[in-house]
Structure 1
């Protein structure tokens, strides 16, 4: 696959997963606005976004067609763990920009930078540890 195609697909899938995450959160928050609903919304949204991104990446980025409950379970677990690591990069940049400049604009710029760096790192981690032929 050409690099340009990879970047377009990967970016599109990140946007799709984010929209599915936010949509899932809104559905839950229609039921209520209290803390338990908020926590449930974030948890469900995160899981929905993670599953959607995993399925899209598996099929259209890494062209992995292996199946089976054990294989899928192991692979999804590795995918989720790589996501935890790269989320820390995103949150770290966002937090650092906020602490340094105390500006919402710069916090959001830091968040975008962290997200972009996190997704590049995640792609390489997934390629090496999640979807590699030896994984």
Structure 2
């Protein structure tokens, strides 16, 4: 399978995990800051899942030791700050534009993640998983 198709498939899987995690948290918690809590929780789930998938299937990366793994994850997460801003921007913009409609907020999140992941691949290839197979 071409790498771009595999990346798109794994990105779609991580996106689904993010949105499902957000929705699950909202169903369990409706207190103060529930919307922010759900977005942060979904982002964390998506980040960790995407890291494992990218590391193994896209970049075929193997850390030399635990410290190397930690530095790699920290750099991966740092590169994700830019893409998280895109994702959150879209999600919260759709939330505002469509009067808080949950489905439209999720659509904004999906669009933001798609754009963010397209940029993230390039950043990860150049700065995070240097020397990897992809």
- Normalising by structure 2, what TM-score? 0.71
Distance 1:90 1:47, change over 3 A: closer
Larger Rg: 1
- Paired residues in the alignment total 121
Q: How does 1:1-135 map to 2 (within 5 A)?
A: 5-89=2-86, 94=90, 112=111, 116-133=114-131
Q: Which has the higher contact order (CA 8 A, sep 6+)?
A: 2
Match of 2:102 in 1: none
Deviant stretches of 4+, over 3 Å:
87-92, 114-118
Distance 1:115 1:20, change over 3 A: closer
Equivalents in 1 of 2:19, 2:73: separation in Å?
A: 21
- Quote the offset at 1:88 in angstroms: 3.7
Provide the alpha-carbon RMSD of the alignment: 3.1
Structure 1 unpaired stretches of 5+ = none
Structure 2 unpaired stretches of 5+ = 99-106
- Normalising by structure 1, what TM-score? 0.71
